[in-house]
Chains A and B, each alone.
Chain A
């Protein structure tokens, strides 16, 4: 049996798909409601498109994780442990999310769009807590992953919203550009705190190597690029309408890359360690060992 941390094999890209679909979908549902309520994204048809896509994304995420469970015919058992399991809580929010979202789509927004957005926020929170509760994976159990996954979902939602609005109306609302820029700055901050905390507290070396490789690509193409595009979009006002959707696409893909890497590539387990090496024969005990860890 291995001693150093090795990559877990229980949750793969399908699990990452749940965090990607769930995060993007719930983020989009929140921004769809904001757009609709403020009448900033135009007519009700905008809400229908955005909310419809949002529910499809959440459903795709759930279908992805459904494909991973060993006993799918017992899937309803997932509702049995709301006392402590964030997976149960996520599952319990889902039907209400889909119900309120469907009604809101039928009505073209209104009060139910607010209800759906609140449930989407709850669903997103459950997902973030769910990964943080996986105590066996050091890169996941770091509590700072919670704000990172929440803000990433919101960034993805804003990015998708920008893409849909541009595709539908050929416009680039300044408020959306400003909100996306703020959300991106918050994501940069959340990522920096998460990554630095992991490095400071110690983690499996291989997990840190994966995150170090991610850092360059993510910060360049998922953060700096959309941030610069958004600054330009805000500066040029409406003359360059392609800047906002392009920034939205980069922010969205950056979020997907981040979550896929953390869930499916940096998921090295705890491994084994000895706080003290035992006495053998007449010898003395020795300082402990923690193979494969940065500290």
Chain B
């Protein structure tokens, strides 16, 4: 059984937001909507202070509250663990957005472009009317993952079938792959390091692992 997950090595992240930019470019999200964000968290007290950069977004939970509450079955979970949205079914009620403890879901109710009411060429090319007034979120670049089956490639190994944010990360923070495959990069990383998952106490079984130290 496949379970695609993502890992973020917080020891490496420098908060450059390249993953954010890459996601926005790839998925053409409107202004204000970032499926992949990087938090800048300051902690501690002078002189022992820390700054942590934490990539966040949909955690593709194993037990996704967004899916359970969705009244239309628009939000569903695939056999490979990806939590996706059928834009044709979604009614934009926002229930999934208030059920998600990761603030990962967005509903855009009006057409908006980066610089004006007139879209730039790339925005025109990528505008998807189906995503208006419905819930949207990170898909783990589902189309790329699906292309892996057709091309005989491996998500997380071959860039063509790996999420854009992972490909773009300049510091090697993000990794993607099948947690059930012991030879995958993510399995090895989890084996070698100490890690946690965000808000794990809520029982959502998130598919996003944060590495914070070696074992």
- Contact surface of A with B, Cβ cutoff 8 Å: 1, 3, 8, 10-11, 65, 68-72, 74-75, 77-81, 84-88, 91, 130, 133-137, 140, 267, 269-280, 283, 285-286, 289, 291
Query: Is A274's CB under 8 angstroms from B98's CB?
Result: no
Contacts of B50 in A (CB 8 A): 277, 280, 283, 286
A267 cross-chain contacts in B, Cβ below 8 A: 98
Asked whether, in the complex, the Cβ of B72 is within 8 Å of the Cβ of A84, the reply is: no
Interface string of B112-154 (1 = CB under 8 A from A): 0000000000000000000011100000000000000000000
Chain B residue nearest to A279 (CB atoms) is B213
Whether A277 and B44, one on each chain, are in contact in the complex, defined by CB atoms closer than 8 angstroms, is yes
Q: Mark B31-60, 1 if CB is under 8 A from A, else 0.
A: 000100111110110001011101010000
Most interface-central of A84, A140, A271, A278 (chain B CB within 10 A): A278
- B98–A10 contact, CB under 8 A? yes
**Residues of B with C-beta under 8 A to A285:** 212-213
Q: What residues of A have a CB within 8 angstroms of the CB of B204 in the complex? A: 135
Given A87-B71, A135-B101, are A70 and B109 also a contact pair (CB < 8 Å)?
A: yes
Docked CA distance A70–B95 (Å): 12
**Residue of A whose beta carbon sits closest to that of B204:** A135
Using A68-B93, A70-B91, A285-B212 as known contacts, say yes or no to A81 and B98 having CB atoms under 8 A apart: no
Contact between chains at A273 and B89 (CB < 8 Å):
no
- If the complex has contacts A85-B70, A88-B71, A285-B212, are A1 and B39 also in contact, measured as CB distance less than 8 A? yes
CB distance from B42 to the nearest CB of A (A): 9
Residues of B within 8 A of A283 (CB): 50
What's the Cα separation between A145 and B26 when bound, in Å? 41
Contacts beyond the supplied A70-B109, A77-B74, A135-B101: 12 A-B pairs with Cβ under 8 Å: A78-B91, A81-B73, A84-B69, A85-B68, A85-B69, A270-B202, A274-B54, A274-B196, A279-B212, A279-B213, A280-B52, A291-B41
